[in-house]
Amino acid sequence: RKEVEQDPGPFNVPEGATVAFNCTYSNSASQSFFWYRQDCRKEPKLLMSVYSSGNEDGRFTAQLNRASQYISLLIRDSKLSDSATYLCVSHAGNMLTFGGGTRLMVKP
Amino acid sequence: DTAVSQTPKYLVTQMGNDKSIKCEQNLGHDTMYWYKQDSKKFLKIMFSYNNKELIINETVPNRFSPKSPDKAHLNLHINSLELGDSAVYFCASSLRRTSSSYNEQFFGPGTRLTVL
């Protein structure tokens, strides 16, 4: 079992839709979690951190459930420019562990 | 521009050759990393250096040898290249994380290595 697991997708949604991704992790020692975004043939970039209390950044909401060991990302009012791969990441010790990513395609 | 840069961007080579990838950051960070992203898109840490000292060395064949001449540079040398080495290699940098804190990692644009 991989340490961080995600549904690879793709999720094909129309503009304006709300879409949610989930991610599960197996290392209970993980201290913090993040969502990174990776555009096609580009490097990953930090999208947002994930807190147990939930956090929101504009159209993006991230949530952590430590009891169930899953992390979620909700995107409201999807834009064409949201099309990318979203990487779920856990941090433990000095290491980041990346999930395989969930691909989102927003269509007009 | 402040950034993490890598050269070359593309590298096509024959099996058995030796090649190097260079990475430089001008962000003033003290920790640098090499990641490998395979065809299934999994991004996996290979090495991490803090102030020129190796702090993470994952299970990587010893054909891969990182070298950090200073805090701003971390190069990756690969000997006797194999077909399975084909991947995108990303360099990243950050400030040193303590066990209870996280400092964002900034990634370079990647080097796409193809071994024929």
Q: How confident is the model at residue A92 (pLDDT cuts 50, 70, 90)?
A: confident
Euclidean distance between CA atoms B49 and B22, whole angstroms: 14
A33-67 tens-digit pLDDT: 999 999 999 999 999 999 778 889 999 999 999 99
- Beta bridge partners, A12, equal A105
Rounded mean pLDDT of A89-103? 88
For an interface test with A, which of B40, B43, B91 has the most A Cβ atoms less than 10 Å from its Cβ? B43
* pLDDT one-digit tens code per residue, B35-58: 999 988 889 999 988 888 888 878
Strand positions, DSSP E, chain A:
4-6, 11-14, 19-25, 32-38, 44-50, 55-57, 60-65, 70-75, 84-92, 95-98, 102-107
| Per-residue pLDDT at B41 | 80
Among B71, B70, B89, smallest CA distance to B81 is for: B89
Residue to test with chain A: of B33, B41, B50, most A Cβ within 10 A: B41
According to DSSP, residue B83 is labeled: G
Can you tell me which residue has the tokens 């961080």?
A4
Cis omega (within 30 of 0) for bond into A14: no
Least confident of A2-11, A33-42, B92-101: B92-101
Instruction: Report the percent of chain A where pLDDT is more than 70.
Output: 99
Q: Nearest CB to A95: which of B43, B45, B90?
A: B45
What pLDDT, on a 0 to 100 scale, did the predictor assign at position B17? 97
Is residue A81 helix, strand or coil? helix
Average pLDDT over residues B4-20: 97
| Cα of B100 to nearest chain A Cα, Å | 7
Residues near B52 by beta carbon (within 8 Å), at least 6 away in sequence:
B68, B69, B70, B71
Task: Tell me what pLDDT residue A72 has.
Answer: 95
CA distance B40 to chain A (A): 7
Interface contact flag, A43 B55, Cβ < 8 Å: no
Residues of A in contact with B102 (CB under 8 A): 31-32, 34, 49, 91
Residue B87, beta-bridge partner list: B113
Kindly determine whether residue A101 and residue B55, on different chains, have CB atoms separated by under 8 Å: no
Tokens 């990756």 belong to which residue? B76
Share of chain B above pLDDT 90, in %: 67
Mean pLDDT across B78-100? 88
A28 has a pLDDT exceeding 90: no
Q: Look at B83 and B51; give whichever has higher pLDDT.
A: B83
User: Whose CA is closest to B36, among B64, B16, B8, B12?
Assistant: B64
Q: Which residue has the higher pLDDT, B69 or A92?
A: B69
pLDDT surpasses 80 at B100: no
